[in-house]
Chains A and B, each alone.
Chain A
Amino acid sequence: MSAPIKVPTMAEYMAQGKNPEVLFWVGCAGSFDDRAKKITKAFARLLNEAGVEFAVLGTEEGCTGDPAKRAGNEFLFQMQAMMNIQVLNGYEIKKIVTTCPHCFNTIKNEYPELGGTYEVMHHTQFLKSLLNEGRLKVEGGKFKGKRITFHDPCYLGRANNEYEAPRELLQKLEVELIEMKRCKTRGLCCGAGGAQMFKEPEKGNKDINVERTEEALETQPEIIAAGCPFCNTMMTDGVKSKEKEDSIEVMDVAEMIANAKDL
């Protein structure tokens, strides 16, 4: 798209003897998955646009350990956690924002007991605060009046009781938000959590992401909005399996905002 994004690393900040306002925790999907990288970049552009002084850890970042922990490998989880905490504490990080609800949940809830206490925000919460502070302006633009449904990520919603931040952002985009039959506290999982992303599902009569996509399609949306790179993959696959990829897009809320602003 337009101007190149400015993404300094913590090491660069450190070299200048400065501290950023917030650390952007990119996460593994956000770093390596082609689809998720677009979300990462969209969010970074928004941070640039709002003039937020942020940094990433870059090559010093490692998996939070979420999939290891939910798979039952507490050892590996705690190894990852301790290594990350050493890096984060070494840089004296106070505030973290991430586009992945799994990283968000793990760092926010499971790191403090292991010595890593930070203010942790999901990117939809952070974007909301930028809007409230007037640092970022959002208008409907191309999304105005579009039929959009929002899929709640389990680790943002039920796990951490945040249902409103992504919806408030969508409202700012002036979309026609149509809720699925099961939403918020009763939202159905996309099927990726608990390390399911990395294995074949057990025998059943349907894939969970297809079940969820069918519910989303019932709302006849033009876009399925998501707030998690894994949900995004699962829903995208679901839409493809229903052969609707030409008419329905799966987009992260941050991508929609960046898109509305032609960033």
Chain B
Amino acid sequence: MQYIPNILFLLALILGIGYFTRNIRKVIRNIKLGQEVDSSDNKGQRWNNVIRIALGQSKMVVRPIAGLLHIVVYLGFIIINIEVLEIIIDGLFGTHRAFAFMGGFYGFLIASFEILAVLVFVSVIVFWIRRNIQRLKRFLSPEMKGWPKNDGNIILYFEMVLMTLFLVMNATDISFQEMNSGNIVSKHIAGWFGGTSVETLHIIERTAWWLHILGILVFLNYLYFSKHLHIILAFPNVYHGRLAPKGQFKNLESVTNEVKLMMDPNADPFAAPAEGAEAPAKFGASDVMDLSRIQLLNAYTCTECGRCTSECPANQTGKKLSPRKIMMDTRDRLEEVSKNIDKNGTFEPDGKQLLDDYITREELWACTTCNACVQACPVSIDPLSIIMDMRQYLVMEQSAAPSELNVTMTNIENNAAPWPFNQMDRANWINES
């Protein structure tokens, strides 16, 4: 009988980590639905970016208030989780504060956890106020209604509760309080429990301890359903992020081959394709499978902070385009495809796609390709590349450019300028006074 808590703990751990692993594997499977891209170059630069941008949060502090608060929560998350290691050992082996033998150093550790817990709690409250009372514009966009809004708040509640449980657990731990080392915050909370019987204190301590670890396991499994997945994916996402200048858009290789053929005087324009030749590739993207794996990773990584949208010139002037919505739509569609695969084994066409059913043409054509969204993203997401791939599909597969652009393109084709001027007049400016 005395081993029942240990067994229950083990079961909870297996269940929690097992379900989480299952969902992470699903994320990987879904990302692999995208087109393969090579990002094996420049390893040094890529690791450097991970250290600077992801670990070092260098782009977060561009907005100082949100940036500093985020660093507090981020540090708290990483450092307080050292405590989880002790909780797991205690839970599995029935020990109590297995690391306490470290003495003074243990006190130092717990003291820093407790201080961080308070700082995290305060930061999270400020975050909540920014979302719900101060109502910052970037949290009120149309795409933030419903689940995205609730999701943001649920994460904050989770963190408030977990931090509270951690402090209560310490405050009601009689032996820990008697050690009087490291209880820098919890000793004040312990005062609130003055007069409570030893038995009751023990029950509160055990309850807080169990709820704390179960809460962590539940939160872990919440990630897959939430924008909060960024706490894991930000790192690989930054690693695979673009290194080339932002102005360099990729050249489509399939088009290069065709253009070379067209310009080759020796090519036979009527030649039948070679036996067994691959079907010509689809140009651009109309659904998530046409996008690259990095773009799909981008979609899972997006934490919907909205810095991209708040810098977007089109969005600022009331157009429908919101780079954040591009990322959210991509993830939503990818999840829809994922459920389809779960149900049918392989993807069964469902008569839907990313274009039109999620992202409208009006949004795509409003983009000025100014790269403000790419610059703003703290975790190297590139919404612009998705917009461009979808424009390519519209123009090259559907000939569905806005009519003024068709005129522009015809001009370029006929007289090598976007306006209807004769190429022979191109140097006339030299002699005009």
Do A211 and B316 touch (CB < 8 A)? yes
**CB pair A69 B249 closer than 8 Å:** yes
B244-266 vs A, Cβ < 8 Å mask (1 yes, 0 no): 11111101100110111011000
* Other-chain residue from B317, B396, B419, B429 in contact with A75 (beta carbon distance below 8 A): B396
Q: Which among B321, B376, B412 is the interface contact of A76 at CB below 8 angstroms? A: B412
Q: Across the interface, do B394 and A72 meet the contact criterion of CB distance under 8 Å?
A: yes
A72-B388, A154-B371, A198-B408 as given contacts; A31 in contact with B245, CB under 8 Å? no
Return the chain A residue nearest B391 by Cβ: A72
**Nearest CB of B to A216, in Å:** 14
Pick the residue among A108, A113, A208, A212 that contacts B251 (CB under 8 A): A113
Bound Cα distance from A79 to B388, whole angstroms: 18
The reply to whether the CB of B18 lies closer than 8 angstroms to some CB of chain A is no
Whether A74 contacts B392 by the Cβ 8 Å rule is yes
Report if A167 contacts B (CB, 8 A): no
Residues of B within 8 A of A73 (CB): 392, 395-396, 401, 409
B251 to chain A: which residues have CB within 8 Å?
A: 74, 78, 110, 113-114
In this complex, how many residues of chain B approach chain A with their Cβ under 8 Å: the count is 71
How far is B427's CA from A30's CA once the two chains are assembled, in angstroms? 10
Report whether B416 and A62 are in contact in the complex, using a CB–CB cutoff of 8 Å: yes
Partner of A63, one of B366, B375, B412, B427: B412
Given the complex of chains A and B, what is the CA–CA distance between A153 and B310 in angstroms?
19
Q: Please tell me if the beta carbons of A79 and B259 are within 8 angstroms of each other in the complex.
A: yes
A72 touches B426 (CB 8 A): no
Contact of B401 (CB < 8 Å), options: A32, A63, A72, A212: A72
Contact A105 B247 (CB under 8 A): yes
Residues of B within 8 A of A83 (CB): 263
Q: What total of chain A residues lie within 8 Å of the partner, measured CB to CB? A: 72
Residues in B whose Cβ lies below 8 Å from that of A188: 313, 316, 372
With most chain A CB atoms within 10 A of its CB, the pick from B321, B366, B371, B412 is B412
Chain B residue contacts of A28, Cβ below 8 A: 416-419
Residues of B within 8 A of A (CB): 62, 244-249, 251-252, 255-256, 258-260, 262-263, 283-284, 311, 313-314, 316-321, 362, 365-372, 374-376, 388, 390-396, 401-402, 404-405, 407-409, 412-413, 416-419, 421, 423-430, 432-433
Given A72-B401, A186-B62, A195-B405: 4 more A-B contacts, CB < 8 Å: A59-B427, A79-B262, A160-B246, A197-B418
15 contacts between A and B (CB under 8 A): A56-B430, A73-B396, A75-B255, A78-B255, A80-B416, A158-B372, A159-B245, A189-B313, A191-B368, A194-B370, A199-B404, A200-B402, A203-B318, A204-B314, A206-B318
A→B interface (CB under 8 Å): 4-5, 7, 9, 26, 28, 30-33, 37, 40-41, 56, 58-59, 61-63, 65, 67-76, 78-80, 82-83, 105, 108-110, 113-114, 154-155, 158-161, 185-186, 188-189, 191-208, 210-212
